[in-house]
Amino acid sequence: MANNVITVTSPLLPPLDEFENLLKDIWDRKWLTNNGHYHQELEKALAEYLGVEYISLFTNGTLPLITALQAMRITGEVITTPYSFVATTHSIWWNGLSPVFVDVDPETGNLDPQRIEEAITPKTTAIMPVHVYGNPCDIEAIQEIADRYGLAVIYDAAHAFNVKMNGRTILDAGDMNTLSFHATKTYNTVEGGALICHDARTKKRIDYLKNFGFAGETTVVAPGINSKMDEIRSAYGLCNLRLIDNAIAARKKIAQKYRTALANIPGITMFKERDNVTYNYSYFPIFVNEAEFGMSRDALYEKMRSQDVLGRRYFYPLISDFAIYRGLPSASKSNLPIASRMAQEVICLPLYAELTDADVDKVLGTILIR
């Protein structure tokens, strides 16, 4: 809490003296970017922590999405969800591809596998699902469809840092997975991201693409972009990685308190937690049914703001409702009834590791006291 305002998220802050020591070492090494010491160390540390073999660091979470599509040489149409942050669809647009929106599953908020198959055309080459709020997609069903039609699967796992299903990371699903390390995420490098793949050859291509396509001092093999993570953010990420387990544990306690307090409130619903999933508690969305709750989502949102509680209508509007995409045939609300309803009802409650019991009680008071 700062200035009596409860914010939606808060970055982890590593001990200042530890970070200062790393900054001094970076200064002494005189290697500030371009695959430096701490960049390499963070890639190794994250691969071990997340249980993946090949990971490439990026300067933000959008560029891995763009690069994944380029690395896999995707063409034509990409099936995706309208219920996500706009960067998901932007990455498709930036590659000159056509996004095709499919509705979501009401139980998870994720791309509905039953709707994917009917959206496939001869131009479809890939599926880009999103693990919304860190809630895992139906990985098996999506992969079965992809295998049947010969489609690539690139997961936007921006919210899914260290999320596991049946004790196994979900970051090895599909062909590639992307992560965001933005300051609002459970794990952050201030700004940053990563792209996870399954083999050394693909990682090499990714690393070329994130460095302008250079494969040596005088050789450019592809029209890449500059998206390398620098040494300062890499060092910050190494500091934060030591704190992440405690941060997730703290967020879990807050989420459990929210869940218990709101469990039987008419008009307030939440996604169910699955027993076989290990969550990272990135977000805590609630959905407000005006008829049952007696107040609209927007009225509750404004009430919260009036009391300095900053929830977020996340994701609202739908990506498909933005002017740049709403002209697409698949953007029709009649094609996206579940996603449209969720976007009209959602509020993500404040959730970060430093949130106090008093803060949580204040958030709940804005909902329970009327």
Which tens digits make up the pLDDT trace of 66-108? 999 999 999 999 999 999 999 999 999 999 999 999 999 999 9
Cβ 102 vs Cβ 138: under 8 Å: no
The pair of structure tokens assigned to 138 is 């139906």
Q: What is the reported pLDDT for 13? A: 66
Q: Is the pLDDT of residue 342 over 80?
A: yes
Alpha helices in 150-242 (DSSP H): 200-209, 231-241
- Output the CA–CA distances (angstroms, integers) from residue 315 to 73, 81, 192, 328, 348, in the order listed: 29, 11, 21, 19, 9
Q: What is the share, in percent, of the chain residues with pLDDT greater than 90?
A: 93
Q: What is the reported pLDDT for 370? A: 83
d(CA 70, CA 207): 12
Q: What is the reported pLDDT for 338? A: 98
Provide the residue type at 307 as one letter: Q
Return phi, psi of residue 106, to 5°: -65, -20
Alpha helices in 5-79 (DSSP H): 16-29, 37-50, 62-71
Q: What is the reported pLDDT for 18? A: 86
Which tens digits make up the pLDDT trace of 167-218? 999 999 999 999 999 999 999 999 999 999 999 999 999 999 999 999 999 9
Q: How confident is the model at residue 8 (pLDDT cuts 50, 70, 90)?
A: very low
d(CA 219, CA 69): 22
Q: How confident is the model at residue 19 (pLDDT cuts 50, 70, 90)?
A: confident
Residue range 241-254: average pLDDT?
Answer: 96
In 152-179, which positions are buried (b, 16+ CB within 10 angstroms) versus exposed (e)?
bbbbbbbbbbbbbbeeebbbbbbbbbbb
Residue 339, C-beta contacts closer than 8 angstroms, at least 6 positions apart: 81, 82, 83, 103, 104, 318, 320
Give me the residues paired with residue 104 across strands: 111
d(CA 324, CA 326): 6
Structure pTM? 0.94
Domain 16-241 has CATH 2.30.130.10: no
Q: Is the pLDDT of residue 14 over 80?
A: no
Q: Is the pLDDT of residue 7 over 60?
A: no
Q: Is the pLDDT of residue 239 over 90?
A: yes
End-to-end CA distance of the chain: 24
Give Cα 157 to chain centroid, integer Å. Answer: 5
Domains of the chain, residue spans: 16-241, 244-368
Fold classification of 244-368 is Aspartate Aminotransferase, domain 1 (3.90.1150)
Q: What is the reported pLDDT for 15? A: 74
Q: How confident is the model at residue 5 (pLDDT cuts 50, 70, 90)?
A: low
